[in-house]
Structures are given as structure tokens and as C-alpha cells.
Amino acid sequence: MKLLSVNVSLPKEVPYKGKAIRTGIFKEAVQGRVKLRSLNLDGDGQADLVGHGGIYKAVHVYSIENYDHWKRELGRDNFSYGQFGENFTVEGMLEDNVHVGDVFRVGTALVEVTQPRVPCSKLAMKMGMPEFLKVFMPSERVGFYFRVLEEGEVGAGDALERVKVGPEQMTVREMFHLLYFAKQKLEGARKALRIPAMSPGWRGSFEKIIGKAQTGPAESVDCCSGQ
């Protein structure tokens, strides 16, 4: 597993559908080593601190293998690092081989997987495809977030060494599928709740599903909840 690129952007306003949208999704690759702190990388920021950012979403991670999938699926070859709004473009870390709760050493930092990434409309804007979320969500190729256990410096070329496996060995894909496509599987929700590393937002979503089980059908989950 390898860190191919570190991508950052401070929030800025971009024109979209006749409006000025403030966003930090337009990440660009940086050279050299970058300090990874508890909330984000130096030079990075989020515009919407309700839906994005915080200690449980300090770093968004996306795999280059997913880039290859979308190039084929969309017939595009104009992607560059940070295309999907990620801070870390990585190799060998697909959603079905990374678990929520896994801990990795990267550079001099120590990080922990906290939840799958949940896309919002700004990803569709970045892709120039208003309907992109309709294909992105079912693909379950969403990436995931790290929180920072130990601050340090990181840079392109660093190895990501898994030093601890998540206690329930629930993959990112499995957790995403449970919340968005298999809410009726209550044992899966209970399993997810046994993962201490899971972010409070996702914990609340699974608790709500279990709480509703005895009173009626589970509520639908939109693309911006669980973040």
C-alpha cells in the first residue's frame, strides 16, 4: 500500500449554475513533505464544517484503482490527482480490503480509518456531471476517512503500513452497503456499533436504525447523512 499523492486546497468560491459556491473540493497535488495535523493537512481546509472536516474526517483517502474504474466507466482520461476531492491518492487500498478501525503508519504519522466517505453535490460539480452521484453511490467506490492518532509529516511515495486491523474486520464497502443499501440487516448494524473507531455520525445513524426496528420501517438515509 502506497501514498501516491498528497492533495490540498483551501476553500474558495467557484461559479456553478449561476451561483458562487464555496468549496474545498478542488484539491491539487503538492510537492515535498506536508505536516499532517489532527484536523487536516497544512494548506488544506473545508468550507462546510458541518458536513465535512473535524477530527474523524481529517483526511479523505481514495484509491488509484478506482480512478481506473471511472476512466473506463465514464470514457474519460482527463483525471488528475485529487479528482475525487481526496487528500490522499493511494494504491492498494480499495474499499473491500480496508476495515473501519484499521490503523496505519504513514510517514511519521499514525492514522485510523473512521468511516466511508459520503459524497455530496459538490463532487458532481467537480466532475462536471450533475447526475454523477446516481452512479457513484451504487458503485460503493467511495473512499474513506482517517483520523490522526499521531501527527507527523507525509509525502508522495510513503508506504502505508497497516499496524492494527479493525476489531470487527468490517470493510469500508461492507459498512457503506449496510447503511445505504441493507438497513434491514440489524445484526450488521450491531456489528458496526462494536467498532470503537467509527465516527459519531455513523454511530448515530446505526443507532437510529436499531431504535426504529421495533417501531416501524427504518428511515431512508440521504447522501449527506452519516457524515
**Strand-strand pairing, 28-29 and 2-8:** antiparallel
195: phi then psi, degrees, rounded to nearest 5: -95, 105
Query: What is the C-alpha to C-alpha distance for residues 104 and 42, in angstroms, rounded to an integer?
Result: 20
pLDDT at 24: 86
Q: Across residues 146-163, what is the average pLDDT?
A: 98
- Does the pLDDT of residue 143 top 70, yes or no? yes
> What's the pTM value of the predicted model, to 2 decimals?
0.90
Query: What is the C-alpha to C-alpha distance for residues 143 and 116, in angstroms, rounded to an integer?
Result: 6
List pLDDT tens digits, range 84-138: 999 999 999 999 999 999 999 999 999 999 999 998 889 999 999 999 999 999 9
pLDDT at 47: 66
pLDDT at 218: 47
pLDDT above 70 coverage of the chain, percent: 92
Average pLDDT along the chain: 91
SS (H, E, C) 180-200: HHCCCCHHHHHHHHCCCCCCH
List pLDDT tens digits, range 167-208: 999 999 999 999 999 988 899 999 999 999 999 999 999 999
pLDDT at 15: 82
pLDDT above 90 coverage of the chain, percent: 76
* Cβ count near 152 (within 10 Å): 18
Pick the residue with more confidence: 95 or 218? 95
pLDDT band at 21 (very low <50, low <70, confident <90, very high): confident
pLDDT at 97: 96
pLDDT at 61: 98
